[in-house]
Amino acid sequence: MAGRLENRTAIVTGSTRGIGAGIARRFAQEGANVVVSGRSETEGRAVADEITNSPSPGEATFVPVDVREPDSVDSLVEATADRYGTIEVVVNNAAVQTETGVSDASLEDWAFVVETDFRGYWLTVKSALEHLPEGGSIVNVSSNHAGATMPNTFPYNAVKAGINGMTRAMAVELGPIGIRANTVNPGWIEVERTRAELEGERYESLEEIHPLGRIGQPADVAGVAAFLASDDAAFVTGSSLLVDGGRTAVMEDETFLTYSNDA
């Protein structure tokens, strides 16, 4: 339904590309004033310009932010409040990842991931709280790595599990003042990084082990984020919604492939 976020202002961190950009586009289509934010001014302004210059234009602006820096986060929030007056929705999506494991991750790897993917979520909500009204919504983007993972994705996988816990803490503490907090846990989503990693047969093989027969698109995540930000989810808080095409539901790939091929 178009218009579910009419007259609301949403900050979307990490929205210069990928899932975050998809969420920014969807929110604008739903009527929100969208603040695109991230470290790349060139990419961020391109997303905002695309929204404002589309055939059905929405309202969007770009504000740079490095969520690892508290002053930068505060500047993002204040710039948003100065431009639009209020902030009804915060979407935490900024994320980085290292190809490291428990045994070889360095303190620098730890700080890079934890400060961006975890502490940055808390800092953004903490800074925005004075502007969030009753009925406000926080959407934290996590990952299916929160529940099942692979080697050499540490500390990214640990942080994603932590985000789910952070969301529950926010839901419990902010619910009494009318603010909801929920998590979206995407699985394999086709963005710039995954396109570079997946070629030919590997892409096809990955699609086959998803019950829905494909990997996701940013729009798949954006639709769920829009629902959680809207009044359609007015009684939903503290939840964690998987958006993974059924991938996490599969216990054993070969058994599933045999079944799906026979179906």
Q: What are phi and psi of 81, to 5 degrees?
A: -65, -40
Contact indicator for 152, 101 with CB cutoff of 8 Å:
yes
| Cα three-residue angle 35-189-80, rounded to 5 degrees | 5
Q: Mind telling me the catalytic residues?
A: 156
Question: What is the distance between the alpha carbons of residues 51 and 44, in angstroms, rounded to a whole number?
Answer: 11
Question: What is the distance between the alpha carbons of residues 44 and 32, in angstroms, rounded to a whole number?
Answer: 17
Question: What is the distance between the alpha carbons of residues 200 and 179, in angstroms, rounded to a whole number?
Answer: 45
Contact indicator for 35, 63 with CB cutoff of 8 Å:
yes
